[in-house]
A and B are shown apart, each in its own frame.
Chain A
Amino acid sequence: MGKYLDILVFVIGGIAFPVGVVTLGGSLRRSYPDPAKEASYESGETPFGDARIRFHIGYYIFALIYLVFDVEAVFLYPWAVQYLHLSRGIAFGEIVVFVVMLLIGWFYAWRKKVLSWM
Chain B
Amino acid sequence: MNFGTVWPEIILAAVGMALILLDVIVPKQRQRALGLVAVLGMVGSGVAAAFEPRNGALALGGMIILDPLSLFFRLLFLAGALLVTLFSVDYIRGKGRDLAEFLALVCFATTGAMILAISWNVVSLFVGLELLSISAYVLAGFLRDEPKSNEAGLKYFLNGALASSVLLFGLSLVYGVTGQTGIPEIAKALVTAQTQGYSTVALMGLGMVLVGLGFKIAAVPFHLWAPDAYEGSPTPIAGFLSVVAEGAGIAAIIRLVSVAMGPLEGSWGVWLGALSILTMTVGNVTALWQKNIKRMLAYSSVAQVGYILAGLAVGTTAGIGAVLFYLAAYLFMTMGAFTVIASLSSAGQGNEISDYAGLGVRSPILAVLLTIFMASLLGIPATAGFMGKLSLIGAAVHGGMAWLAVGIAVNSAISVAYYWLVARTMWLDPVPEKAEPIRRSAELGAALVVTTVGTLFLGILPQVVFFFANWASVGIR
- Please tell me if the beta carbons of B1 and A107 are within 8 angstroms of each other in the complex: no
Interface string of A57-90 (1 = CB under 8 A from B): 0000000000000000000000000000000001
- Please tell me if the beta carbons of A108 and B1 are within 8 angstroms of each other in the complex: no
Q: Which of B19-27, B52-60, B85-93, B287-295 contacts A (4 or more CB under 8 A)?
A: B19-27
Asked whether B380 is an interface residue with its Cβ less than 8 Å from the other chain, the reply is no
Which residue in chain A gives the minimum CB-CB distance to B25?
A111
Question: Min CB distance, A95 to chain B, in Å?
Answer: 14
Q: In the complex, which residues of chain B have a beta carbon less than 8 angstroms from the beta carbon of A108?
A: 20-21, 23-24
Which residue in chain A gives the minimum CB-CB distance to B20?
A108
Q: In the complex, which residues of chain A have a beta carbon less than 8 angstroms from the beta carbon of B416?
A: none
Q: Please tell me the number of chain B residues within 8 Å of chain A, measured between CB atoms.
A: 6
- Please tell me if the beta carbons of A101 and B17 are within 8 angstroms of each other in the complex: yes
Q: In the complex, which residues of chain A have a beta carbon less than 8 angstroms from the beta carbon of B21?
A: 104, 107-108
Interface string of B13-41 (1 = CB under 8 A from A): 00001001101100000000000000000
Question: Min CB distance, B13 to chain A, in Å?
Answer: 9
Question: Min CB distance, B10 to chain A, in Å?
Answer: 10
A105 to B23, CA, bound (A): 12
Question: Min CB distance, B455 to chain A, in Å?
Answer: 38
Asked whether A54 is an interface residue with its Cβ less than 8 Å from the other chain, the reply is no
Question: Min CB distance, A88 to chain B, in Å?
Answer: 14
Asked whether A56 is an interface residue with its Cβ less than 8 Å from the other chain, the reply is no
Asked whether A30 is an interface residue with its Cβ less than 8 Å from the other chain, the reply is no
Q: In the complex, which residues of chain B have a beta carbon less than 8 angstroms from the beta carbon of A111?
A: 24
Q: In the complex, which residues of chain A have a beta carbon less than 8 angstroms from the beta carbon of B17?
A: 101, 104
Asked whether A29 is an interface residue with its Cβ less than 8 Å from the other chain, the reply is no
Which residue in chain B gives the minimum CB-CB distance to A111?
B24
Q: In the complex, which residues of chain B have a beta carbon less than 8 angstroms from the beta carbon of A90?
A: 1
A105 to B17, CA, bound (A): 8
Question: Min CB distance, B102 to chain A, in Å?
Answer: 14
Question: Min CB distance, A116 to chain B, in Å?
Answer: 15
A104 to B17, CA, bound (A): 7
A101 to B21, CA, bound (A): 11
Asked whether A112 is an interface residue with its Cβ less than 8 Å from the other chain, the reply is yes
B residues touching A (Cβ–Cβ < 8 Å)?
Answer: 1, 17, 20-21, 23-24
A residues touching B (Cβ–Cβ < 8 Å)?
Answer: 90, 101, 104-105, 107-108, 111-112
7 tightest CB-CB pairs across the interface, nearest first? Answer: A111-B24, A108-B20, A104-B17, A104-B20, A104-B21, A108-B24, A101-B17
Q: List 12 additional A-B contacts (Cβ < 8 Å) besides A90-B1, A111-B24.
A: A101-B17, A104-B17, A104-B20, A104-B21, A105-B20, A107-B21, A107-B24, A108-B20, A108-B21, A108-B23, A108-B24, A112-B24
